[in-house]
Amino acid sequence: METVLKIGDTEALDLCTQQESDFFDRKSVRIKPGQLQNVAVAFANAEGGTVVVGIEDAKTNRSNDPLSQWQGADSIESFNPIIVALADLNPSIDFVHQFLYREGGYKTDYVLRLKIRKSQKVHETSKGEVLLRKGAQSISVTGAKIQELMRAKGVISEEDTVLPSVRAETILEGDPFKKFIANLKITDKDPFNFAVQENLLPEDMHPTVALVLLFAKNPSASMPRQCAVKIVRYDSSEEEIERDALTDDRHTIEGPLHDQIAEAFHTLKEVISRCLCWTMEGLQAPDYPDDALYELLVNSVLHRDYSISDNVLISVYRNRIEFRSPGRLPGYVTVKNIRDARFSRNPKLVRLLAKYPDAPNKDLGEGINTVYERMGQAGFIDPILREDGVNLYVVLKREPKDDPANIVTKFVSKHGAITNRQALDILALEHSEQATALFAKMREQKLLIREDEKQTGVRVRWVKPGPAHASNA
């Protein structure tokens, strides 16, 4: 990348008028290096961003020409104190810089453009302030909020937090820990020594969250925050679910993580078996790839944020299954790079669970890729991932990759007719209007007709046009 770059008026105008946001800021050339540290640190602690130095704020600009805000420095050396101030930060932030000057300007005045990359660390200014970019501001972060930020970045993990109110002896002498130790190929099988060596039991002898989650008989009774798996079923396909759609098929699964995962998977399969809906084979339980369900369950339990008091929630609908895992994606992982990124929020949980003979996480790091592959092999669209700042949602939807009209045609060929309800199920639609619109289009294309024109509402059945219908068309 060129260090000194000439730009045209179009790009210059964009820099002068672009709205300041979570990812962009502009500062006067008169800004002090320490003040710019604040902006850079805030960007690095958040999602990264760009700051340009040498453009005046529009509020102080008396001219109607936005380009008059471009008031840079006479030389690039003028920006040395700023670059030095950023380079002196410890830990250092990752940034690149360019000096910009306008093409055709009356004089050569330089603007400094800094691109700050998102960091995996938590940074502070030379004054010891931790700042976070929020909108167009650099917000000071203190106390517990710093801990939250460090957990979100994976700098620290809740799994290492000690629980003084829990007696370590009850866990070390319990059956879950004894069974685990018995299966290990190690010489020293003393539970206490193993716990100390694995940093599950610090010097103060208070058990860590990891020790409780892995080996307490019922972690939910010892943990200060919720840590179970809840599974619920809705008799609906709607995106906005009404309370009446929630069935009595509701379950809470507790226990040490290894057992919790096994029982939750068994329960999930049973709940799905009671979710009768229309498939290409008829009215039956929907068929989701077992590997996809299992990998998402394991990921939801292993990689969730245990500092958040909430349970993993799995919601089963007629057309989809939604996994809600407490916490944002850790470190540098995003919904866009999740298939390639490797980052564990809870490395002790991951590593120790992998020591079980029937480890739930044998294919370390390949879980989410397996989900994509199995859904594709089953003929369904890719998983849908989204974050809301608090939770990660992964949705497995039974929406076919094939053209909807082809699916409907195949269903009618096999079953003789199709209804609105059947189309909703086999196409994983959310609203009856979607099915109605599809039927209307296929009717225009002479692919479907009503079985009886007197039928209305839910009683309407659509069939293929026969010879008589074709001659009348």
372-391 per-position pLDDT tens digit: 999 999 999 999 999 988 89
Do 268 and 393 lie in one domain? The reply is yes
Lowest mean pLDDT among 26-35, 239-248, 292-301, 413-422: 239-248
pLDDT confidence band for 365 (50 / 70 / 90): low
In a domain, 152, yes or no: no
Q: Is residue 149 included in any domain, yes or no?
A: no
Please write the tens of the pLDDT for every residue from 201-251.
988 889 999 999 999 999 999 999 999 999 999 998 877 776 778 899 999
* Mean pLDDT across 123-149: 89
Looking at the structure, tell me whether residues 210 and 247 fall in a common domain: no
- Please check whether residues 378 and 260 belong to one and the same domain: yes
Q: Is the confidence at residue 22, as pLDDT, over 70?
A: yes
Of the pLDDT bands very low, low, confident and very high (cuts 50, 70, 90), residue 340 is: confident
Q: Is residue 147 part of a domain?
A: no
Specify whether 235 is located in the same domain as 375: yes
pLDDT at 58 over 70: yes
One domain, residues 297 and 366: yes
237 with 323, same domain?
Answer: yes
Q: Is residue 38 part of a domain?
A: yes
- Among 397, 430, 462, where does a domain finish? 397
345 confidence band (pLDDT: 50, 70, 90)? confident
**Residue 413 and residue 336 share a domain:** no
| pLDDT score of 139 more than 60 | yes
Report if residue 449 sits inside a domain.
Answer: yes
CA distance linking residue 245 with residue 138, whole number of Å = 44
pLDDT at 129: 92
Residue, of 153 and 24, whose pLDDT is higher: 24
Q: pLDDT tens, 397-448?
A: 999 999 999 999 999 999 999 999 999 999 999 888 999 999 999 999 999 9
Residues 338 and 462 in one domain: no
Same domain for 98 and 168: no
Question: CA–CA separation, 415 vs 463, rounded Å?
Answer: 10
Domain of residue 418, residue span: 404-472
Residues 271, 255, single domain; the answer is yes
Q: Are residues 117 and 187 in the same domain?
A: no
Structure tokens at 70: 């471009």
Percent of the chain whose predicted confidence (pLDDT) is above 90: 66
Least confident piece of the model among 41-55, 242-256, 358-372? 358-372
Q: Quick check: 155 pLDDT over 80?
A: no
CATH number, domain containing residue 102:
3.30.950
Final residue before a domain boundary, out of 397, 416, 444? 397
Domain closes at, from 222, 252, 271: 222
| Lowest-confidence region among 231-235, 270-274, 333-337, 347-351 | 333-337
User: Where residue 467 falls among pLDDT bands split at 50, 70, 90?
Assistant: low
CATH number for the domain spanning 438: value is 1.10.10.10
**pTM, entire model:** 0.75
CATH of the domain at 340: 3.30.565.60
Judged against a pLDDT cut of 70, whether residue 146 lies above it is answered with: yes
Instruction: Report pLDDT for 336.
Output: 85
Whether residue 392 sits in one domain with residue 280: yes
The average pLDDT across 12-38 equals: 92
Per the structure, how many domains does the chain have?
4
Per-residue confidence (pLDDT) for residue 468, from 0 to 100: 47
Residue 151 lies in a domain: no
Is 153 inside a domain boundary? no
Asked whether residue 150 is assigned to any structural domain, the reply reads: no
